[in-house]
Amino acid sequence: MGNGDNGTLIEKEEFKIIESLVTPVPPREITRQLWGIAKKYETAIKENLIISIEEAEQDRNIVNMLFRKYTDLKTRILDARILQNFVSMQRLRDVHVIMKYLDKSEIIKYIAYQVKRRGTPIVTFTGYSLRSTPRLERKLTSSKVEPKYDQNISIFKEEAERTLLMFNEEIDMSSVDKLDIDSLKKETLMKLKPYFDKPIKIKTLSHLLSHIQLNILSQMIRDNELFAYKRGKDSIIISKTPKYLSEDNKYETIVIEGAEK
């Protein structure tokens, strides 16, 4: 490696060579993969179909991985197009979630706002006055448009409340007192007993414990009642004593989804 500008140049070149040696991807293959992803999202957005977060994350990983190998401007433009698609898909996903909790009149108001803010109205000072002609005024007052939700507001409210209740049921909002917590702790410890001081796969843990038990486990680790150490990429060791603790330990948060119980 040289010094100064030359040095940097050489370093960059070396980096490129190593990259291509490890995982050689031909440029045509990069373009093909990127096109595949771009088209997939564009079709879904056009047809109002939602692509799950998990799938989107996988695609994002592929794009991130390929990003290092982009060489020409065309591929970079394609990359920007895909990122734009990711954003649009996220927006579509958000709208679908929000729409569940909005009644129709609110949606009408939102659409009205979107149209209103984009209009550059014609200005009229003279001539045929649309609203103030007596004949038309009579016609308008006799058939005034009343918002629909005035008649059916109770139905909309009931619907909204029902949806909210369903939502609450889904995320299990039941309260837990101290006795419950103690019994839950015992249950969790009983289940974990055969696995103490042994490497256990994170996946096994997620099958073994429910959401609440995992939550309790997380609290016990936080309160130093139990000690957990990450070993490798996908396994951890749970212990009752801090025997593996050293100054070099790094703390890391692991999110585990529990079994549905």
Partner 1 sequence: MSSTFESKPVKLDEELAELIAVLSSRWRALDGSVHFGVEEDRLKKALDVKSRASLERKLEEVQKKLLPMGLEIVRYSYEGKFYYCIRTIYGVPSELTDEEYAVLGVIIYHIETNKEHDYVTKKQLEITLVNGNYLNMYQFEQILRNLEMFGYIKRRRGNVYYGSRTLVEFDEERRRAIADEVKAWLV
Residue 30 contacts residue 77 (beta carbons within 8 Å)? no
Answer yes or no whether residue 176 interacts with partner 1 by CB under 8 A: no
Nearer to partner 1, 11 or 94 (CB): 94
Distances from the Cα of 125 to the Cαs of 116, 120, 141, in angstroms? 21, 16, 23
- Contact letters (x/-) for partner 1, 62-101, by CB under 8 A? -----------------------------xx--xx--x--
Q: Which residues contact 100 (CB under 8 A, 6 or more apart)?
A: 163
Tell the smallest beta-carbon distance from residue 88 to partner 1 (Å): 9
Stretch that binds partner 1, among 8-16, 114-122, 170-178, 190-198 (CB under 8 A): 114-122
Lookup result for tokens 């042994």: 198
Tell the smallest beta-carbon distance from residue 23 to partner 1 (Å): 38
Residue 200 contacts residue 143 (beta carbons within 8 Å)? no
Considering only 1, 52, 131, 207, the residue that binds partner 1 (CB under 8 A) is 131
Residue 34 contacts residue 70 (beta carbons within 8 Å)? no
Answer yes or no whether residue 224 interacts with partner 1 by CB under 8 A: no
Nearer to partner 1, 107 or 166 (CB): 107
Residue 206 contacts residue 257 (beta carbons within 8 Å)? yes
Nearer to partner 1, 50 or 237 (CB): 50
